[in-house]
Structure 1
Amino acid sequence: MSMVPPSLLCLGLCLSQSTWAQKGNLPPPHIIALPGSTVPAKSPVTLLCQGPKQAEGYRISRVGSPEPMDKEEEIAPRKTNALSIAEVTTDKTGLYHCSYQRGGRWSQFSDPLQLVMTGAYDKPSLSSMVGTVVAPGETVKLQCFSKINHDVFILTKEDGDPVTQNQSCTPQDGGRQTIFLLNPVSSTQAGTYRCYSAFLDNPYVWSQPSDPLQLQVEAPTAWHPSVETQVRLSLAALLLLVMVVLLAEAWCSQGGPSVKSDEPPPQWTDKHR
């Protein structure tokens, strides 16, 4: 039986893995926006499609648009992964995704990126119904109010992972408001919050941001038992004391242990007679 050289085995294995990879779907890229995906009106933004180094071309487009797309603002040139938008306007907002080309094939689309324009309407107001300094575990209610009859309110958080919540609203004082709940609040939720408002039929065009609200979460304090816990501990101690007293009385009623002495009994002498 002839032996196959290890170098040929390695070559065959590598070729088989390469062939298998070419038959599978190309993994999707990742799309980001610089300096961010929430952009003030008429400000510039750049969309980047992050794919492998072997990519031969890129395509950036709006979700739901026909492919391929020829408009300059909706498709990046073949050899670059960047799409620059000089001024963000309402017609540039929406969901964007991207793909890349390698070996004559296009990859799967990236997860969509939400490109939002802010500053289209007057700013709402943001306030905390329980104060801005809270203890861990409390329920925090943030109220966002707009004088405009908007349908949707959005809460964002800075200084960390951006947390965006979309929520419906209710009429209030000639305008609309909504309540955002942070329940239970923790130290990771401390930071600077703002809210926006928008219309449901144009969800990527937001108002100006509200004034910032700084939420502080106090550090955990030493454990202090509640009144109920203190009463229970006192009753338990009293019960233990009663049991000790009863055991002591029972022990004494039985006469206790006999007393033994190592001294010899007294000897009678003539003096005692």
Structure 2
Amino acid sequence: MTTEFLSLLCLGLCLSYEDDKENERLSKPSLHAWPSLVAEVKSNVTLKCRAHSQNVTFTLRKVNDSAYQREQSSAGDEAEFPFTDLKPEDAGRYFCAYKTTVSHEWSESSQHVQLVVTDKHNELEAPSMKTVPHVCNPRTAGR
């Protein structure tokens, strides 16, 4: 009788522990770009999402684009999402989240990062400063 009671007690404690682990709120991951958040067209950038846990599945999403989603599993605490041969449409605000093998829900979203894709050729053609035409006031001319 005591063996059965101890077995049930142990089973109950183990299940309770797993429930507590599932209900733990996952902390917010961090997201950053390498080498930079500003990159030229046709160059490469990697967005790196880092969690506070290991053995997780990461997701990368784009703000205002519900169709954009990339997932990656990692044995470590970080996932890399490479962008190669950047196009202007890759520009935008991104965020990531993760879930562990125990949790069934995603963590809070990371802070949003703004990826800027520049076309250096067009930038060189555009004036770097707005020029304001000089307007001569005949009343003040010659003073």
What is the TM-score normalised by the length of structure 1? 0.36
Q: Answer yes or no: is the 8 Å Cα contact 2:55–2:73 preserved in 1.
A: no
Aligned letter for 2:109? Answer: F
- For the 8 Å contact 1:90–1:117, the answer to whether it is kept is yes
Quote the offset at 1:59 in angstroms: 0.5
Distance 1:173 1:43 in 2: 37
The aligned counterpart of 1:84 is 82
1:101 is matched with which residue: 99, 102, 125?
A: 99
CA–CA separation in structure 2 for the residues paired with 1:123 and 1:106: 43
Structure 2: give runs of 5+ residues left out of the alignment. Answer: 1-12, 135-143
Per the alignment, residue 44 of structure 2 pairs with 44
Could you say what secondary structure the match of 1:81 adopts? strand
In structure 2, the residue matched to 1:58 is 58
Q: Which runs of 5 or more residues in structure 1 are unaligned?
A: 1-11, 126-144, 148-171, 175-273
1:75 corresponding residue in structure 2 = 70
Q: 1:1-273 maps to which residues of 2 (within 5 A)? A: 19=20, 22-66=22-66, 69=67, 74-79=69-74, 81-102=79-100, 103=102, 104-118=104-118, 119=120, 120-121=122-123, 122-125=125-128, 145-146=129-130, 172-173=132-133
Q: Give the superposed CA RMSD.
A: 2.7
Q: Return the letter of the residue paired with 1:88.
A: L
| Cα distance, 1:55 vs structure 2 | 4.0
1:85 and 1:76 map into 2 onto residues whose CA distance is: 14
Structure showing greater Rg = 1
- For normalisation by structure 2, the TM-score amounts to 0.64
Structure 1 55/146 Cα, relative in aligned 2: closer, same or farther at 3 Å? farther
Counterpart for residue 270 of structure 1: none
Q: CA deviation at 1:100?
A: 0.7
Aligned residues: 111
CA separation of 1:39/1:45 partners in 2, compared to 1, >3 Å: closer, same or farther? same
Contact preservation (8 Å) 1:55, 1:100: no
Distance 2:133 2:55 in 1: 56
Q: Deviations over 1:24-45 (max 9, x none)?
A: 4211100010001011121100
The residue type equivalent to 2:26 in the other structure is: L
Distance 2:61 2:48 in 1: 11
Deviation at residue 63 of structure 1 after TM alignment: 1.4
8 Å CA contact 2:29, 2:96 repeated in 1: yes
Q: Deviations over 1:183-217 (max 9, x none)?
A: xxxxxxxxxxxxxxxxxxxxxxxxxxxxxxxxxxx
Deviation for aligned residue 1:61: 1.3
CA distance in structure 2 between the partners assigned to 1:112 and 1:87 by the alignment: 22
CA distance in 1, matches of 2:105, 2:55: 10
Give the distance between the partners of 2:127 and 2:25, measured in 1 at CA. 46
How far residue 65 of structure 1 moved from its aligned partner, in angstroms, is: 2.7
**Separation (CA, whole Å) in 2 of partners of 1:99 and 1:52:** 11
Q: Which stretches of structure 1, 4 residues or longer, exceed 4 Å deviation after superposition?
A: none
